[in-house]
């Protein structure tokens, strides 16, 4: 089941309704968010500017200051370099691997502490190296907290009429509003979910909450690419205008998760 139950503490409307999703094909997803080491190689190969690390260090820390478009460019390069097809996971695929067969608020139970993840209550005030916290039951690290992760879906206010096959849910409207892209997983700068405004909760959980598409620092954003084997916390929108990601604060807390 995707989404959170109506009676769950701290739940917001964008986390429902719960609905059954069937993912019909096998896929593999990155064990960690994409690191600076990995992303810097892409920048060097394409002779592009490397994203800032905010003075926290590079290496095995998750890359930050990357937009949804940056994530797509990295994935295209990675696919070309390896000869395998990579893409961002759909939101349903992301939640599936985050939950790792569980039905609790977090993959490790219904409560979270700084022992479990790097989130607001950890008071680290920056990212941590990938793999610093225990993996979930399927061997994936940093699904809760550390950096928000881009997925392939466009933002919708709730899950009514969401796809049931695990595919990315794309915006089909013709209105003047800019397209919003979905972030999942929370970050180092947000509190664990509980009573309170959406912008201050849902940072380190599977089901997630909303946040504004503006006013977020770029040192929160990452991604986790996914690859098909025929050959991948919080929920939030990030704003895309004219095909270009223009998030302000959010991109410092998010990165890239490849499948």
Q: How many domains does one find in the chain?
A: 1
Q: Is residue 5 part of a domain?
A: no
Name the residue range of residue 143's domain: 13-258
For helices 68-82 and 36-46, the axis angle rounded to 10 degrees is: 80
Domain contains 168: yes
Determine if the pTM surpasses 0.85. no
Distance CA 13, CA 32 (A): 29
Q: Is residue 2 part of a domain?
A: no
- Does 66 fall in a domain? yes
CATH code of the domain covering residue 138: 3.90.1580
Quote the pLDDT of residue 225.
Answer: 64
What CA–CA distance (Å, rounded) separates 212 from 14?
13
Distance CA 72, CA 184 (A): 16
> Residue 253's beta-bridge partner residues?
220
Average pLDDT over residues 37-43: 96
- The helix (H) or strand (E) run that includes residue 88 is none
Is 4 part of any domain?
Answer: no
Judge whether 159 and 98 are in contact, CB under 8 Å. no
What pLDDT digit, counting tens, does each position of 171-203 carry? 877 654 556 788 888 888 865 442 222 222 222
Output 60 or 5, whichever has higher pLDDT: 60
Report yes or no on 164 lying in a domain. Answer: yes
Give 94's contacts (C-beta < 8 A, 6+ positions apart): 149, 151, 184, 185, 224, 232, 257
Report the C-alpha gap between 121 and 216 in whole angstroms: 18
Strands 217-228 and 148-154: parallel
Cis peptide before 17 (omega within 30 of 0): yes
Q: Phi and psi at residue 145, in whole multiples of 5°?
A: 75, -170
User: Do residues 161 and 173 touch, judged by C-beta distance below 8 A?
Assistant: no
From residue 190, give the alpha-carbon distance in Å to each of 36, 40, 125, 253: 22, 26, 10, 9
Summarised one tens digit per residue, pLDDT across range 99-139 is 999 988 888 988 889 999 999 899 999 999 999 999 999 99
Question: pLDDT tens across 14-36, in order?
Answer: 888 888 898 888 889 999 999 99
């Amino acid at each position: 089941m995707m989404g959170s139950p109506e009676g769950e503490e701290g739940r917001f409307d964008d986390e429902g309704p719960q609905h059954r999703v069937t993912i019909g094909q096998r896929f593999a997803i990155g064990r960690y968010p994409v690191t600076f080491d990995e992303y810097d190689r892409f920048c060097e190969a394409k002779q592009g500017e490397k994203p800032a690390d905010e003075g926290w260090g590079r290496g095995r820390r998750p890359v930050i200051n990357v937009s949804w478009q940056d994530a797509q460019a990295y994935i295209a390069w990675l696919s070309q370099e390896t000869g395998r097809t990579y893409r961002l996971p759909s939101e349903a695929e992301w939640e599936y691997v985050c939950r790792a067969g569980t039905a609790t608020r977090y993959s490790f139970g219904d409560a979270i502490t700084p022992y479990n993840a790097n989130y607001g209550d950890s008071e680290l005030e920056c990212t941590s190296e990938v793999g610093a916290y225990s993996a979930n039951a399927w061997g994936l690290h940093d699904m809760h907290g550390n950096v928000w992760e881009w997925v392939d879906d466009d933002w919708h206010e709730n899950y009514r009429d969401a796809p049931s096959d695990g595919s990315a849910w794309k915006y089909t409207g013709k209105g003047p509003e800019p397209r919003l892209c979905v972030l999942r997983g929370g970050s180092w700068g947000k509190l664990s979910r509980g009573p309170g405004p959406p912008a201050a909760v849902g940072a380190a959980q599977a089901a997630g909450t909303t946040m504004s598409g503006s006013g977020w620092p770029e040192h929160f954003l990452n991604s986790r690419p996914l690859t098909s084997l025929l050959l991948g916390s919080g929920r939030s929108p990030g704003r895309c205008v004219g095909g270009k990601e223009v998030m302000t604060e959010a991109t410092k807390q998010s990165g890239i998760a490849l499948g």
